[in-house]
Amino acid sequence: MFNSFFKKPLSIVLTILLSIITTSCGVYSFSGVTITAKNISISEFYNNTDLGPANIGQTFTNKLKDYMLQNTSLAFVPDNGELHMEGVVTDFRIVDVAPTAAANPNERDAAALSRLSITVKVTYINNTDDSMSFRDKTFSFYENVDNDISPDAISEAVINKILDQIILDIFTASVANW
């Protein structure tokens, strides 16, 4: 009698718990993003800078495509995707930061560090929800490097670190919509 008395309420509680657990399990994304679009097209970003590597636009485009492939379930299409990105690398600039006094008063003061900044202008078109689109939005990031480095000698690792952050910012502003 005791055993049969608790069987029915226990089965009800288990049923409720099971239904809560199964309905709360949706499609999980490691980036935490829910995307309704099925595909994306990314046009080649071109280089419109005076300094830096000549292939920075192509490098940026490939890194952006790789990031979208790894962090979304979107399929790539060559043109007219439900989501579309295009743009241009507009700035690759090295400026002096962290000035230091020259040992000789007749010499010019120097900077201990230089700052490499890269800027990308992006147009993002969301054909499933135009209110999420943006045009010519600028994304920029920088990294400090040794002062005695020329633009040609800046390591690929430093450039990639900056591009990775810009791509994360673009992802956050577009697909993640934060």
Predicted local confidence at residue 160, as pLDDT = 95
Residue from 121, 112, 117 nearest 158 by CA: 117
Contacts of 43 (CB under 8 A, 6+ apart): 61, 84, 85, 86, 87
Fold of 36-173: Double Stranded RNA Binding Domain (3.30.160)
Predicted local confidence at residue 114, as pLDDT = 85
Residues of the chain with pLDDT below 70 are: 1-11, 13-15, 17-34, 98-111, 149-151, 178
**Which residues of the chain form beta strands (DSSP E)?**
39-42, 46-47, 75-76, 83-100, 110-126, 134-146
CA distances from 104 to 65, 113, 134 (A): 51, 19, 52
